[in-house]
């Protein structure tokens, strides 16, 4: 693992205003603020619209050209002296988990905005245009899969298929909700050259914080497969049906989930396997559950191992269902191979840290990001900064202002030098 403790500092291209970045993060965090100090701003809800509106207003104040594409992605452009050159892009997402934190996603968006503001302050021109992007629905809470808008941009997923995705209640679709909140744009989604994409993020894990290292140069991300499992039994009266005659879908689902947890320890290095969503029918206190639907999220950095996990996962589910006399339906909702980021982009992050005298280390991402999709259509890199104790997807998610500002400085330097300064 490559690590740099120090570099030869040189002057920055422009000065990042860390206080301004922090203030923007705190103002955005008020939209969807939760009692536990976090944020619940689900994709394509009214709160998401409010966050988008605030971001767009800031972009307009910074004299950025804003356009909305057909997946609702917001692209804010700072022109270059060569306006037809492919842009150097950055960005992330503004939607959150139901009980999420203030920084996951929002930091990548607002660090990109701060890059634009800082370059404006210093009157620095770049040859290639720069863009900051808000990608729609990275988290995948309401519409199964996650990062669908960046997947459409990268050509991984069809536009019409994505717009037709139902929400988890089956009452509306992605496209209908985009229209309802006023972000069903008409600009094309993808199909154009991109010079490079850099995404800044909190690590969402403990490595940088434990090491006391302010910057991670991200080499790539784990492969991921997501599933939806439906277990079908039979409803019955909780007081009158004997235990040995029951076909309890909840008991079957619980056994499956426990078996999947054990499966993770049969591989080295361990994958991570998570069930984070559960729906019970009829969901009544005194009725034996007749149907349970739950999610599986499995991740590993090696694609061959991920394929082996997939096979064993399917076998475990079938064996458990057969033993209990339960029906089983398994749908793979998404799959992503392990991602290797562009070596030149990774080196650009390392070089920026060295120029600014900031310690860094190479790191892999355990989480999925929009950058994983962009890597399919453009040279891509990521910049990680520490989050306290590695806590994320949690109301207690926290990051230090000085680390966030440092990551933004690296982002600015990498983007501006890639684009070429005048």
Rounded-to-integer distance, Cα 113 and Cα 213, Å = 24
Please give the full DSSP string across 73-95, using - where no structure is assigned: -EEEEE--SSTTSPPEEEEE---
Domains of the chain (ranges plus CATH)?
3-221+338-419 (3.40.630.10), 223-336 (3.30.70.360)
Q: Which among 17, 407, 411 has a CA at the least distance from the CA of 213?
A: 407
pTM over 0.85: no
Residue 415 φ/ψ, nearest 5 degrees: -70, -45
Predicted local confidence at residue 4, as pLDDT: 56
Structure tokens at 231: 């277990």
The strand pairing partners of 22, in sequence order, are none
SS3 62: coil
Rounded-to-integer distance, Cα 314 and Cα 308, Å = 10
Give CA 286 to chain center in angstroms.
39
SS3 327: strand
Q: pLDDT of the chain along its 422 residues, tens only?
A: 575 554 445 668 899 999 999 999 999 999 999 999 999 999 999 999 999 999 999 999 999 999 999 999 999 999 999 999 999 999 999 999 999 999 999 999 999 999 999 999 999 999 999 999 999 999 999 997 789 999 999 999 999 999 999 998 899 999 999 999 999 999 999 999 999 999 999 999 999 999 999 999 999 998 889 999 999 999 999 999 999 999 999 999 999 999 999 999 999 989 999 999 999 999 999 999 999 999 999 999 889 999 999 999 999 999 999 999 999 999 999 888 899 999 999 999 999 999 999 999 999 898 889 999 999 999 999 999 999 999 999 999 999 999 999 999 999 999 999 999 87
383's enclosing H/E stretch is: strand 380-385
Predicted local confidence at residue 146, as pLDDT: 85
Predicted local confidence at residue 131, as pLDDT: 98
Residue 414 φ/ψ, nearest 5 degrees: -65, -45
Q: Which among 195, 205, 14 has a CA at the least distance from the CA of 117?
A: 14
Rounded-to-integer distance, Cα 289 and Cα 250, Å = 6
Predicted local confidence at residue 301, as pLDDT: 85
């Amino acid at each position: 693992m490559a690590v740099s403790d120090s570099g030869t500092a040189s002057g920055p291209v422009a000065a990042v205003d860390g206080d301004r970045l922090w203030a923007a993060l705190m103002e955005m965090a008020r939209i969807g603020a939760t009692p536990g100090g976090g944020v619940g701003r689900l994709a394509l809800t009214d709160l998401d619209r409010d966050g988008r509106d605030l971001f767009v207003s800031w972009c307009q104040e910074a004299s950025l050209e804003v356009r909305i594409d057909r997946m609702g992605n917001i692209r804010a452009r700072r022109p270059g002296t060569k306006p037809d050159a492919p842009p150097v892009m950055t960005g992330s997402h503004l939607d959150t988990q139901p009980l999420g934190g203030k920084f996951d996603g929002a930091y990548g968006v607002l660090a990109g905005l701060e890059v634009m503001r800082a370059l404006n302050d210093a009157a620095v021109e770049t040859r290639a245009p720069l863009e900051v992007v808000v990608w729609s629905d990275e988290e995948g809470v309401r519409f199964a899969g996650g990062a669908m808008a960046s997947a459409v941009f990268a050509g991984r997923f069809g536009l019409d298929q994505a717009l037709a995705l139902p929400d988890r209640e089956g009452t509306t679709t992605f496209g209908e909700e985009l229209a309802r909140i006023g972000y069903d744009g008409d600009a094309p989604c993808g199909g154009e050259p991109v010079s490079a994409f850099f995404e800044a993020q909190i690590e969402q894990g403990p490595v940088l914080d434990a090491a006391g290292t302010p910057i991670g140069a991200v080499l790539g991300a784990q492969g991921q497969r997501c599933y939806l499992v439906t277990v079908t039994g039979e409803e019955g009266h909780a007081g009158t049906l004997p235990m040995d005659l029951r076909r309890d879908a909840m008991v079957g689902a619980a056994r499956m989930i426990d078996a999947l947890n054990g499966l993770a320890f049969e591989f080295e290095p361990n994958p991570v396997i998570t069930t984070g969503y559960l729906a019970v029918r009829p969901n009544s206190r005194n009725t034996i559950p007749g149907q349970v639907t739950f999610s599986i999220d499995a991740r590993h950095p090696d694609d061959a191992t991920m394929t082996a996990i997939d096979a064993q996962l399917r076998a475990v589910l079938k064996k458990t269902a057969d033993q209990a006399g339960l029906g089983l339906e398994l749908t793979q909702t998404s799959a992503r191979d392990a991602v290797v980021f562009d070596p030149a982009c990774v080196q650009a992050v390392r070089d920026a840290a060295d120029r600014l005298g900031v310690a860094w280390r190479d790191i892999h991402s355990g989480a999925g990001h929009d950058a994983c999709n962009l890597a399919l259509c453009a040279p891509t890199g990521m910049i990680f900064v520490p989050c306290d104790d590695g806590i994320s997807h949690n109301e207690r998610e926290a990051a230090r202002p000085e680390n966030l500002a440092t990551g933004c400085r690296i982002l600015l330097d990498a983007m501006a030098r890639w684009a070429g300064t005048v």
